[in-house]
Structure 1
């Protein structure tokens, strides 16, 4: 096997478990669709996950949900809470000012993972999102921002992982990569996603993401989400971009202070 090429069966199993964990409860067909795994393969994966105790079938329903055992998968991960501690007061204050929910996300592999958000602090949201929720890196404002500010060799490595993935269409990947204007994002200091299709309300929200830095290095993306029907993207940028950048700059400053005190 070529060095660096993932084991397909393991990748599919992880994708299925992540899909169940993300949505909370899925039917077998929904698991197959959400994880981009053929139905017969999804059935075998589900049986294995049931056997291992990571998921369970809901009583009286042919739907599957994660068990408490999935928490053991993160037991060895010692999460650095400096980012959340530094960001929390600023994103809460920003949400109070602008009304829209704000989130903090970092890159984990080929995805962006939510670290904190203020969806619970405002009524201007369709859904509440909690730490651990993931978004594809090329289909989210936070992901595009992360890719733009990544070192060139790191960005190429991420693209290499995606090219060898069995779950990603190469034509789509080529189009997405070509549309990623790294220099423009860096120059402007923000990235956007016109419509968010990979969240719990596909197509109903738009996002603007700005960078958070730690001692001059990109650390995370701070993203504001708003309803597509509420305003056009240009209007949102004119109205909120300076507030977003100011909050991100304040977090960057405090993040360095918090880390220095540790």
Structure 2
């Protein structure tokens, strides 16, 4: 089948394209650097011509409230319209576990808007909710640093490797539309503060991690289970220790 991967040259998208290609599918990487721009519509009609599935793993270049909302609303509107014209049989999008509980963040309100647009479009769809990526743990620390200290709440956390995220997206993309959300997560559960402390120590980052129950997560107060999936989530196979060893 022909699968068009929007954001197909990025961290997750490139891995999805590779996996689908290895499985014998015609996987097309669609991104501005391949001549496809979801904000302007440039190249969309040509890319989606004859597509069976479209997979959107693109992301807003800005996490600020208004730019993120403009990105997801504009890009999703253009994608949905063109997917309908192209008679795409399955529309897949990647989102985040706990999105509906993180709406105090403008970025997550934008992600929720994207999900709502897809679910209300009338197109057969699947939304993949992934937990945070191992690759972004240092970014969490950077965002949470105050006066040289990383302040994080001791809430449950189940991050996963980008490779496992891509595997989950590819599985959903080649299956029947769910018209629902599928959650994917890492194989191990820990505490957010503990995981970041371990990650920083592993790369020689001297910043201390302060366990602070009142500390926000990307500006949002989170509960014990906000960042972890339900019991029916599909779990990846790569542990953090295994992934970290591969980075050396």
Tell me the TM-score normalized by structure 2: 0.27
Query: Which structure's relative contact order is higher, taking Cα pairs within 8 Å and 6+ residues apart?
Result: 2
The structure with the largest helix share of the pair is 1
TM-score (norm 1): 0.26
